[in-house]
Each structure stands twice: as C-alpha cells, then as structure tokens.
Structure 1
Amino acid sequence: MADTSDYPRGESFMDPFRGILVAYFMPENCYDKFFLDFDFLDVPCLKIVLSKALGIGIILGSVLVKLPQIIKLMRAKSAEGLSFNSVLLELLAITGTMAYSMSNKFPFSAWGEALFLMLQTVTIGFLIQHYGRRTGIGLLFLVVYFLLLAVLLSPVTPMSVVTSMQAFNMPAIIIGRLIQAATNFRNGHTGQLSAISVFLLFAGSLARIFTSLQETGDSLMALTYVISSTCNGIITLQVLYYWNSSPEHKKKKKKNKRE
C-alpha cells in the first residue's frame, strides 16, 4: 500500500481515479474530505456516496431485473397469470418518472433504471398480447407507445403535463398492482409471474426511497417510491404465499375433484 505521506498536500494516491469518482460517486468536496483529509466518517459525504452507489447498483440491476420474467414467458409460450392492464399502468408510472426526471434534469443515477424498466415492460406487454394470439394488437401497442413517448419527451409537452403524470403515478401504481394482486388471488397462483423479477423490483423500489430523497430532494418522487414499495411488497407476499401453486397444479386439483 502506498504511503500517503509521500504525496504533497493537495495530492492523493486516488488521484488517478479522481475523474471517475467525482463524476459518478461524490462531489469534489467529498473527494477532498475522504482522500486529502482522510475523514472517512463525514456523514453528509457518506450519505452521498451511499446514495450514488445504490443508484448505480439499481440501474445496473434494472438492466436484467425483468429479464427472468421475459425468459419465463418465452419458455412457457404463455402469459397466463399476467394482467395486461397492470402492465399498462406500470408502464405509465415508469414513463411518468422518466419524463419527470429528465425534465427536471435529475442525475441519471436517480432515475436511470426507469429507462431499462420501460424497455423490458414494453417487451412484456407485447409478449402478453403475442401469446394471447393478438400479435397485431401487440405491434400496434409498441408503435403507439413509442410515438407517445417521443411527444412526451419533446419540448412540445408542457412541464405541467409531465408533473401531472408524475403525480398520477401513485394511483397508477396502486391500481396496477391491485389488478395484478386480484388476478393472482382469483387464479389461486401467480402464473408466469417471475419470483426473481418481483423480489428485485421490491428491493429496488425500497432503495429508491433513500436515493430519491438524497439525490433529488423531491418529495413527490420519494412518495412515489414509498407507494411502489408497498404495492410491490403485496405482490412479493403473494409470490411467497402461492410458492407451491402453479397453473398445472390447479388444473390437476380441479381434475381430481371432478373424478
């Protein structure tokens, strides 16, 4: 390990990484606190670093968070148990968060996962239609969504509309998750819902409560994630409750009753 005393005041052994650290993990003053003053217990700076690290972790995780769900649908060639209406409302919430964050110029680490979640949610929406033998509707859904997204992210859309969308996220998330929860309850199983994706979404939304408060200071964003965490928690509990239930298991049970 390099002897820090070999470095003149104002220089640090971490200077080769200064650009990356300041760009993605901490402001200049925190870099100085940590690597020039060696004050690693500065609480405000620790909060910033933790928030940035969590944000980047969430974004990296979001690249794959719904991939298990997509793979499960494609393997089963079925979207049984998934509600398209729930997916639409979730997509509305994700799009609102993305547009609101971009319009307010929030750092990418505070909302970046919305971009990847949007792409994966759109894919799931299409697959639900495709495996429901409505491929044409699925393609129309893709075209209409991306056209609307282009308009929403353009300067044509007033900020008031974007803010209203973000505010509408809360009822959209609640209704969307309740629709999925009701579908699970009615079916007596979670169908092709991926447990891995559900658990990751729940963990990510919990972490986002802290990062949104720390990085944006926006109470509307934070409240959205509080509600999202609560709703995701309900689905998570259902996944655990119906762990040993499946469409095939239910069909066998019904068949045995008839016999």
Structure 2
Amino acid sequence: LAMATSAMATSAMEPLRQIFLQYLMPEECFDRFFLHLDFLHVPCLKIVLSKVLGFGIILGSIMVKLPQVFKLIGAKSAEGLSFGAILLELFAITGTMAYSIANSFPFSAWGEALFLMLQTLAIGFLIQHYRGNTLAGLLFLVVYFCTVSLLLSPVTPLLVVTTMQASNMPAIIVSRLLQAGMNYRNGHTGQLSAVSVFLLFAGSLARIFTSLQETGDSLMALTYVISSCCNSLIAAQVLYYWNCSPALRKKRE
C-alpha cells in the first residue's frame, strides 16, 4: 500500500517536476527539495533565486519603459530627452542581446533586453516624431532592424559581437552622462519618467546577481555593475528635480 501511495504521489508530481526542471532548477536540486526535503541547500537556493529574479526582471521589463512612452504621447513633447543617449542605450541593449544569443545563455539571463530594445526603439522614434522629424524616425527604425538582422546572422563573427558587448560599458556611461548633462542644463528632467528610471535602476542591480549565477560571465556582470552606477545618477537627479517641472522652471525665469 505504501509503495502504491508513493508511486501515485510520484506520478502526480511528474508534470510539476518537468516544469521545475525546465524553468527553475536542475534535477539534483529538485531531488534535494522534494525527495530529501532539504530546503536550506544554499547552492540550490541561489539557483532558484536567480531563476525567479531573472523571470521577474523579464516580466517587469515588458512594462518598464511604458510609463516613459505614455508620458511622451500624453505630453506630445520630447523635451528633456537626449536622442544621443537613446542611441547609445540601444547600442548597449543590442550588444547584450546579441552576445547572449551567440553564447547560448538561457533566456532568463537576458530576456529583458528584447523588451527593453522594443520600448527604447519606440521612445527613439517618438523623440524624432515630436521634434518634427518623423521621416528620420522611420529611417532610424529601418536601419536598426537591418543592423540587428545582420548581427544575429551566421555571417557575423563572434569577435564582433564580443567586442560590441565589451563596448557596452563606455556606451552606457556616455549615454547616462548625456542625459544627466541635459537634465543639469535644463534644471529639470523634462518628460523623463520617474517610474521607468527607478525600475531600470532596480533591474540592473538584480541583474548583477543573476548574470553571475546563470552565465558566470564576468563581462556581463561588470556591464550591469556599470549600468547600476549610471542609473543611480539619473535616479538621484529625478529625486533632486522632483518638484521642478519645465513649466515651473519657465515661470521662475
């Protein structure tokens, strides 16, 4: 009877086991948790935490820049946003995505780059559109998608993608400095979305842990360390200029 009960329990857990093994943990960790009831096994806990954080970041990335997009559309203005900063940010995101795909890293380690890329593209187009350069915005989209197709194709050597990933750090630094400089000159953060800024900062911090845990790639981890430091600068400016809107700035002047 005990054997029959055990067999039924094992059979009932099989669908759950397959899901866990595919998305959350290796078989060794599943056995430790559910067969040996060892829920305090630190290496397995780190693996599960990394996976959960990774998928959480990906889910959050689906909407992380939407507040920025909606703010631009609502204001019908791109005041305070640097298109150069957007281009450099897009370069960094694309480099991470192409490098991760080329090295066959798990989607949970880099998946947010895909959604951030699409939202950053939308922001770049809207900046051009609201500055009266809609045609230039459309050309920007076409050129970008052609470039990504080439990067992800077999004709692009791995060295090119690796070099691009290594260039992410200066690209991220310059991107954030451009935006920070514009904020300082304007005396406000314009149409920059505080929600998007703080979500990006939190996501880059979490990615330091997940990139080390899931890829073991120090280049990826260092990129997220630099990104977190730079994002913290923009977040600090958002707090500093919190009560200084463009309209209030003009009124004071």
TM bin (shorter chain): over 0.9
Q: Alpha-carbon deviation of 1:14? A: 3.8
Q: Alpha-carbon deviation of 1:10? A: 9.1
Q: Alpha-carbon deviation of 1:11? A: 2.9
- The answer to whether the Cα contact below 8 Å between 1:12 and 1:36 also exists between their aligned partners in 2 is no
Q: Alpha-carbon deviation of 1:15? A: 3.2
Name the count of aligned residue pairs: 251
Equivalent residue, structure 1, for 2:213 = 214
Equivalent residue, structure 2, for 1:11 = 10
Equivalent residue, structure 2, for 1:202 = 201
Kindly indicate whether residue 170 of structure 2 is the aligned counterpart of residue 187 of structure 1.
no
**Residue 201 to residue 91, structure 1, CA distance change in 2 (3 Å):** same
Equivalent residue, structure 2, for 1:152 = 151
State the 4+ residue runs in structure 1 displaced beyond 4 angstroms: none
Task: Give SS of 1:183's match.
Answer: helix
Q: Give a deviation string over 1:184-203, Cα, whole Å, max 9, x none.
A: 01101000000000000000
The 5 Å alignment of 1:106-121 reads: 106-121=105-120
CA distance in 2, matches of 1:18, 1:240: 46
Q: Alpha-carbon deviation of 1:13? A: 6.0
Over aligned residue pairs, what C-alpha RMSD do you find?
1.6
Q: Alpha-carbon deviation of 1:154? A: 0.4
CA distance in 2, matches of 1:13, 1:33: 18
Q: Alpha-carbon deviation of 1:16? A: 3.1
TM norm structure 1: 0.94
Gaps of 5+ in 1: 255-259
Equivalent residue, structure 1, for 2:75 = 76
Equivalent residue, structure 2, for 1:257 = none
Letter in 1 for 2:98: A
Q: Alpha-carbon deviation of 1:22? A: 1.0
CA distance in 2, matches of 1:32, 1:186: 58
Gaps of 5+ in 2: none
TM norm structure 2: 0.96
| Percent identity for Structure 1 against Structure 2 | 72
**Residue 54 to residue 96, structure 1, CA distance change in 2 (3 Å):** same
CA distance in 1, matches of 2:224, 2:190: 26
CA distance in 1, matches of 2:31, 2:78: 53
**Residue 41 to residue 9, structure 1, CA distance change in 2 (3 Å):** farther
CA distance in 1, matches of 2:246, 2:70: 18
